[in-house]
Amino acid sequence: MAACSMNRLVGFLFVAISLLHCTSAQTTHIVGDASGWAVPLADPTFYSSWASRQTFRVNDTLVFNFASARHDVATVTRTAYDACDASSPIGPVPTTSPVTVTLTAQGSQYYFCSIQGHCAAGQKLSINVLSATASPPTTTPTSPPPTATPTPTSPPPTTTPTSPPPTATPTPTSPPPTTTPTSPPPTTTPTSPPSPPPTATPTSPPPTTAPTSPPPPPTTTPTSSPPPPSSAPGVVVAGFSVTILSIAVALLL
């Protein structure tokens, strides 16, 4: 009876040890595989691509293989990692290859080479550490979204073309009345200058009355005085005055 109990206890311990061994199994990750830890000249994203193909758990180890004194391994924060700032590393920075790092905590871990220019050239590594017992995340393929069946839309109502508005017939406007040019004012025919008054034809002077010879004096007695004789010059003057008067009358007419 005691031997049977002992066998059961040994079997139980064996199973427990086996489960513990499976739980605490470690995975060693050679960083960069055959390429090791160096400046990736061909592809700056080389270490990011390598890490995306790995599953990191607590108690796993990272092994950095590199040329000693030519590279190192600095553990840094996310801020320093993004800026390639090696001024405040977490813990010592080993420079002798190989460097083995044991993953003791879950979450994101950041590493790079602190030699100037190496981090900026792509010699940097960012990983996400899972718990020791957690199963790796399984990517469930998402089913494609159902294809939306296009609902046939009814054709838009045919728009009956409206008849064009009647064209307004332009009413011919009567042409403006033609202004009849006014005849030029009649030309004033210059009046002929008044004819000079007719020249008065001088009338011939009246015939000069020849002085008559004085009649012979009557025979008188010597006592009576003789009558005064007619004067010839007075007759000439009277005839000339008549002539001048006639000329003046003719001129006035």
CA quadruple 39, 41, 47, 53: dihedral positive or negative?
A: negative
Alpha helices in the chain, H assignment, sequence order: 2-23, 46-52, 78-83, 232-252
How confident is the prediction for the chain on average, in pLDDT? 71
pLDDT (0 to 100) of residue 246:
77
pLDDT (0 to 100) of residue 247:
82
Closest C-alpha to 47, from 149, 100, 118, 106: 118
Strand order in the sheet with 56-57: 56-57, 124-130, 107-112, 74-76
**Cis peptide, bond prior to residue 98, ω within 30 of zero:** yes
Q: What is the DSSP string of 220-238?
A: --TTSPPPPPPPHHHHHHH
Stretch among 22-36, 148-162, 183-197 having the lowest mean pLDDT: 183-197
End-to-end Cα separation, the chain, in angstroms: 207
pLDDT (0 to 100) of residue 248:
76
Closest C-alpha to 123, from 107, 104, 109, 110: 110
Which residues in 131-202 belong to E strands, given as ranges? none
Domains and CATH numbers, the chain: 21-130 (2.60.40.420)
Contact assessment for residue 125 and residue 110, using Cβ atoms and an 8 Å cutoff:
yes
Q: What is the DSSP letter of 36?
A: -
Closest C-alpha to 94, from 68, 117, 118: 68
What would the pLDDT profile of 45-89 be if each residue is shown by its tens digit? 999 999 999 999 999 999 999 999 999 999 999 999 999 999 999
d(C-alpha 127, C-alpha 123), whole Å: 14
d(C-alpha 209, C-alpha 205), whole Å: 11
d(C-alpha 87, C-alpha 95), whole Å: 16
* More confident call, 122 vs 249: 122
* More confident call, 217 vs 37: 37
What would the pLDDT profile of 118-165 be if each residue is shown by its tens digit? 999 999 999 999 998 865 555 444 444 445 555 555 555 555 555 555
What would the pLDDT profile of 218-248 be if each residue is shown by its tens digit? 554 444 454 444 445 555 666 777 778 878 7
